[in-house]
Amino acid sequence: MQVASGEAGDGCMTGNSGACSSGSCGCNYGCGNCGCCGNVGCGNCGNCGNCGNCGNCGNCGNWNMACFGQGMGQGSGCAPGNQCGNCWPPCYGNCGGSCGGNCCGNCGSCCGAACQNQCWQSGWQGAGWNGNCGWCPNGCQNGCWNWQQQSDEPRYSGRTRAEWANWIVTPCGDRWCQTKLNEAKCVVDWMIRTWGFELLSSGSGVIDVGGEPGFVAMALLQSGIPATVVDPSWRMTGKTNRHTNIEQVTQMPGCPNFAPFQENFDEGFYARHKEVVDSASAIVSLYGDEATEPSLRFAASLGKPCALIPCNECVRFFPSQNQTYDGYVQACMEAANENNGRFELVNLVGAPFSRALLVQPPLPGWAKKYAKAWHRESKGRNGTEESLTVPLKVLKDLGVLHQVIWKMDVARRGA
């Protein structure tokens, strides 16, 4: 009998849902071995015989949402009236008993047709949130993925509306939403610090391209900045959550203007809503997928301030000469700058996911001649060399003072 890896002396046996060689199994990595619910945000909640680290709720493997919530550090013990004998969702962590034999091998939290909804939930609670049930063995991954492809329902980032809605309300889904809102706040706070509240709150405010379910829009509204979301899937994906209840926020007195457009951000949108785009203070897009290119293109051609994080999972967009995320970021910046853009790469310190922020700052009228000189130089054209006096404090605040000094010395020496 093979022994699974876990705490010393656990004696957890794989492929035998709910069985243990000792009273306390203590699986650290739960994909159903010994019926464990695994290390899914609540510690070793799947201890066979006694779910001691999941709120002292009793039997391992069979637990409900209330039990899981208590194990998340929200208290100890089950909520009154909730017994862990009723697992939630059905068969999660107790695959052998509730799935009617439709389990994927020894993968207790990734089942076949009888428990298909549980597959993507367990996968998304770990690194395998991209749909391949990352916490399960290879055989189980394939089984789950094959089931997902059988439906003709529209999918958003690989999931149906119902799948997203079911997962969003789980503790793991709620943590993901909170992290995404924190990321949006990180970007918005950077924009306010760097560009100023007055600029961002002017006109029709900031356009958020591909902004479903509204993390960036919520961060903007909470900061007192008007927001416009342009996304053809607005409120269609099932991702709406308690962190993005914008419809309720807009009913509060003093809330800035908010306008959603269930449309693509393209030439047609610009023709229909020219005033909205022209009066916008900035354009933002985080992981916009197909919306990345038009966001960069419009920002460059209109000279709009822009902050954009390219999607780090859109490998289909990675350039053939450098099929990496860094290569994709560089290609996005170069393409925008060839279209008269002024994009630079900023390291977004504190961001929970990608820290690569492509930025086109505002351009004051007095600085346009420097922008033209930069474009001439970038395209290999000769012209009168322009000089610009920059206060040392500005360079120090930007964290580039000593880099600029060294670059100036290199330029003087012609090295």
Longest Cα separation, the chain = 81
Q: CA-CA distance, 123 to 59, in Å (whole number)?
A: 23
Please, what is the angle between helix 116-124 and helix 171-195, to 10°?
40
Nearest Cα residue to 95 out of 172, 34, 12, 141: 34
Residue span(s) of the chain under CATH 3.40.50.150 come to: 173-369
The whole-number pLDDT of residue 66 equals 35
pLDDT single digits (tens) 158-205: 899 999 999 999 999 999 999 999 999 999 999 999 999 999 999 999
Q: Cβ(220)–Cβ(149) under 8 Å?
A: no
Geometric angle at alpha carbon 208, from 207 and 214, rounded to 5°: 135
Topology at the third CATH level for domain 173-369 = Rossmann fold (3.40.50)
At 414, the pLDDT band (50, 70, 90 cuts) reads confident
Q: What is the pTM for the complete model shown?
A: 0.63
Q: Which residues of 135-152 are buried (b: 16+ CB within 10 A; e: fewer)?
A: bbbeebbebbbebbeeee
pLDDT tens-digit map of 235-245: 999 999 999 99
Cβ atoms within 10 Å of 323's Cβ, excluding its own: 10
Q: Which amino acid is at 234?
A: W
Q: Is 208 exposed, middle or buried (0-12, 13-18, 19+ CB in 10 A)?
A: buried
Q: In 3-state terms, what secondary structure has residue 237?
A: coil
pLDDT digits (tens, 9 = 90+) for 363-373: 888 877 777 77
- 108-133 burial by CB neighbour count: b if 16+ within 10 A, else e? bbbbbeebbebbbbbbbbbebbebbb
pLDDT at 415: 64
Segment 88-98 mean pLDDT: 35
323-344, pLDDT tens digit by residue?
999 999 999 999 999 999 999 9
In angstroms, rounded to a whole number, what is the distance separating the alpha carbons of residues 63 and 69? 10
- Percentage of residues in the chain with pLDDT exceeding 90? 50
Instruction: Answer for the pair 48, 35: CB distance below 8 angstroms, yes or no.
Output: yes
Q: Would you state the structure tokens that stand for residue 252, as one six-digit string?
A: 């509060």
Residue 259's beta-bridge partner residues? 228
pLDDT band at 309 (very low <50, low <70, confident <90, very high): very high
Q: pLDDT at position 377, please?
A: 64
Strand residue runs (E) in 210-314: 227-230, 258-261, 280-286, 306-309
